[in-house]
Copies of this chain bind each other. A is one copy, B any other.
């Protein structure tokens, strides 16, 4: 695969707000620094990640990628996400009863944070990073357990669903 990327000028549902190219180039640099190769598939994954809002799962990414780069295979997306996670370019959070959600670590406004997912509607909300600090401390002191609060989303019912229910 070569750098023949149909950077659509006719994009109807693609918004380039925060200019992903910047994030893209930084990600590619990190990839090179780690001794990894820069490939079309990897560009595609990073670019798509930069473009998608919310908390897309791997399958969401696959679907979106397929629209522009039909040659990029699902398995490659998974492998790429794994690689990118390993070098810190993307972060992921496991959602109870759903797909793992990914986003670029360097995304604008994406400093470290926690997640909570709604059991009813599946929506995911971001939470302040320090929210579980005291629990973490407790857990470590009392049980020797080192909590990784960013690794899994908390579960419950969101505002809207509480209202509706």
Contact = CB atoms under 8 A, between A and B. Distances in A.
A139 interface: yes
User: In the complex, which range does the number of interface residues on chain A fall in?
Assistant: 20 to 34
A94 interface: yes
A64 interface: no
A157 B152 contact: no
Contact of A156 (B96, B146, B154, B159): B146
Interface in A58-85: none
A155 B146 contact: no
21 contacts: A94-B96, A96-B96, A116-B139, A116-B147, A125-B145, A127-B139, A127-B143, A131-B135, A135-B135, A144-B158, A145-B157, A146-B156, A146-B157, A146-B162, A147-B154, A147-B156, A148-B155, A148-B157, A151-B156, A152-B152, A152-B153
Interface of A: 94, 96-97, 116, 118-119, 125, 127, 131-132, 134-135, 138-139, 143-149, 151-159, 162
